[in-house]
Amino acid sequence: MADPRPLAPSSCDCFVSLPPASAAREVIFGKNSDRPKDEVQEVVYLPAATHAKGAKVQCTYIEVDQAERTHAVILSRPAWLWGAEMGANEHGVCIGNEGVWTKEPVGEEEALLGMDLVRLGLERGSNAQEALQVITTLLERHGQGGPCKEEPTPFVYHNTFLLADRTEAWVLETAGRFWAAQRIREGARNISNQLSIDTDITAEHPDLRAHAQRQGWWNGEGEFSFTKVFSLVHQPVRMEAAKARYCAGQQLLRQHSGQITSGTIMAILRDKASGICVESEGFATTGSMVSVLPQDAHLPCVHFFTATPDPSRSVFKPFVFVPNITPFHQVQAPRFGDKDPIKERPRFQSRVDRRHELYRRRQLALEALDSHQAERQKIQECLQGLEQQALESVKNLLAGSLTLESQELADLFFDCVNAELQFYK
């Protein structure tokens, strides 16, 4: 069995705000994806599609039955895998995942990654509850497992998920093939690399409690707490950091309750003092996402992605689902076909350069400016201005005081990436 204890800290943080915690009639979703420091995260758009009955789809490691129809999705994902760390679909569903270790053992056997389940849920779920049912059905059928980073030394974890749509959110926490879910209808909620569902369980694996009894983890009497029953008795040191981030996230959400906007969630994702914005020797925040899901179904959902590491030095760029999306190859990694280290056996015996254009040009610019702090600060201020302009435009769009043509919306993410690239010349 793989050692579930990585040498470097690993972490992610997901947030959701619903009225009355939100300042407006909006559900706001956000996530920091904290991954190996040099891992490249790309942003990809996949249009809706129909598939032949009985078709299969190749996920990161295994094949599963394909759905006859898949929704259009936008994904932020480690460039080496099939799934996604976070994303949204054309129906206003958002999902993010987090690694977790419980009493259920993790193993090296290849199955579905939690990141595969994020994409599968988005491609097949027209609302958050439906996406949750997709994920739990596939989890029960195929299990979860396999290396979760692009290295020959196995690094394996199970997953928790935060799902949201225009009306509600769900926390889904797993241990092997077992799971529990909690519906969130109001207020704010966050998750951070640990179990957090206590006795308020809305839905669960049909054999969850019987399994816990068979293992001797629960005596069958009194209230059933998923967190208490399935959490490790002796938590690894790394989980104390997760606990501290979870509490810090709760505190920040409470501090802004009733006034939470997309800007609020972006500021939380940039908070380094709490550890929510990660910058360590081994792990870092490699991509970030914030989504605004208006409860008025006539208004568009808007999804912001950085496509670059460290949100405190990145630009959140908006995307809206409309027909004829302009391709944005500037944030998509190169492909290596059959020569990709993930496809060769044994896997991950070599490394390839997966940096996309925005990642590479930003990296070169920041390195060149390391000894020119005044110039670096000037560029950072210009980038902040670019983001603020996008936020104001989105605010006016949702308020009805700004109208954009369909083609302008189709170009929106592409144009924002291009505008950012100009600063790195």
Catalytic residues: 12
- For residue 265, which amino acid is it? I
| Sign of the CA dihedral with 421 first, then 394, 97, and 92 last | negative
- Asked if residue 120 lies in contact with residue 64, where contact means CB atoms within 8 angstroms, the answer is yes
Provide the Cα torsion 399, 410, 114, 204; round to 10°. Answer: 40
> Per DSSP, which regions of 47-142 are E strands?
49-50, 56-58, 63-65, 69-70, 73-78, 86-89, 94-100
Phi-psi region of 50 (alpha: psi -120 to 50; beta: other; left: phi over 0): beta
Return the H-helix or E-strand segment holding 17.
strand 12-18
Nearest to 78 by CA among 7, 6, 150, 4: 150
Instruction: Give the span between the Cα atoms of 118 and 85, in whole angstroms.
Output: 7
Instruction: Give the span between the Cα atoms of 225 and 163, in whole angstroms.
Output: 21
- Asked if residue 331 lies in contact with residue 354, where contact means CB atoms within 8 angstroms, the answer is no
| Sign of the CA dihedral with 338 first, then 342, 348, and 352 last | positive
Side-chain-facing half-sphere of 345: CA atoms under 13 Å = 1
Q: Provide DSSP, 342-395.
A: TTSSSTTSS------HHHHHHHHHHHHTTT-HHHHHHHHHHHHHHHHHHHHHHH
- Show the tokens assigned to 42: 């790309």
